[in-house]
Amino acid sequence: MGDREPVHDHAEGAGLLELAVAIAEEAGQMLLAKRPARPEVLATKSSPTDVVTALDRAAEQLIRTRVGQARPYDAILGEEGGATPGDGGARWVVDPIDGTVNFLYGVPDWAVSIAVEVDGEIVAGVVNNVPRGELFTASKGGGAWLAGERLRCNTGVPLDRALVATGFGYAAERRRVQAEVLSQVLPRVRDIRRGGSCAIDLCSVASGRVDAYYERGTNYWDHAAGGLIAAEAGARIAGLNGRPPSVEMAVCAAPGLFEDLHDLLVSLDPEHD
């Protein structure tokens, strides 16, 4: 960190990022203003511990409305509302509250995550860690930024000195297998952190707050924006064995550490739960 943010040459990506930032900030302000002491649990998703609040849906609707007003022909993929087709040349990938359980309990680590694709490539991403007042942004080729300073991931960290973030799924059997994998990872790294938000964990890699991140069970909207931010900070994000990050696995770290963590995870065969 320390570089001042440049004027980007990529006008389209920068313009999309500017709009995404404005929408993410508005959604975050709404969520802060309306969050009760114990938000209403509207429903469960994949399991009884995977909750969706009424404010998840309200935040996504706000984001969809603002995108529609500014760019009515764009497509939208949202965690709560699914896919809305469009022919505007861009697709918005939205997680209205990444870290819903943190939001529910008042843990100050949840975020509004918005990424924008053009021709299938993510060109802009914003992760608004609302309760901490931290807005992480990136545009393709334009770097990753926080509070006007450029982010760079930690480099040259060996696996046994790496502080590694991870997360766990909601289904009991998946958590059991993830705990078994973790028991094998933990002795081989510096320590583990579990924050509860994939998007924020990826931003933590970007900003050097952790050295690496891995998790099975994340969806595209969880890592779309944070993945661009981490990549623009110099990290590599991918799945296992050359695949892209997916629900099967997402791994993120600087080159070198990425390969070491990847190979460890492959050796532990975490894909079969």
Q: What is the mean pLDDT of the chain?
A: 91
Is the pLDDT score of 203 beyond 50?
yes
Last residue of a domain, one of 132, 150, 168: 150
Q: Return d(Cα 151, Cα 203) in angstroms, integer.
A: 9
Q: In terms of domains, do 128 and 163 share one?
A: no
Instruction: Quote the pLDDT of residue 50.
Output: 60
How many domains does the chain contain in total? Answer: 2
Cβ(273)–Cβ(255) under 8 Å?
A: no
Q: 215 Cβ partners below 8 Å, 6+ apart?
A: 166, 167, 168, 198, 201, 249, 250
pLDDT for the residue 270: 45
pLDDT exceeds 70 at position 6: no
For residues 208-234, give the mean pLDDT.
Answer: 97
Angle formed by the axes of helices 220-232 and 198-207, to 10°?
10
pLDDT for 46 equals 65
Extract the tokens encoding 247.
């629900």
The answer to whether residues 198 and 169 belong to one domain is yes
Question: pLDDT per residue over 124-135, tens digit each?
Answer: 999 999 999 999
pLDDT at residue 179, as a whole number: 94
Residue 266 has pLDDT above 60, yes or no: yes
Q: What pLDDT digit, counting tens, does each position of 10-40 carry?
A: 567 789 999 999 999 999 999 999 887 776 6
Average pLDDT over residues 59-78: 97
Q: Tell me if 4 is assigned to some domain.
A: no
- Evaluate whether 152 touches 45 at the Cβ level (below 8 Å): no
Inside any domain, residue 35: yes
Residue 273 in domain: no
- For strands 163-166 and 191-193, give the pairing: parallel
Question: Are 34 and 145 within one domain?
Answer: yes
170 and 136 together in one domain:
no
Residue 89: pLDDT over 50? yes
**Quick one: pLDDT at residue 104?**
87
pLDDT at 44 over 80: no
Domain that holds residue 80: 11-150
pLDDT at 152 over 90: yes
Q: With a cut of 70, say whether residue 261 has pLDDT above it.
A: yes
Q: Inform me whether the pLDDT recorded for 41 exceeds 80.
A: no
Tens of pLDDT, residues 171-182: 888 899 999 999
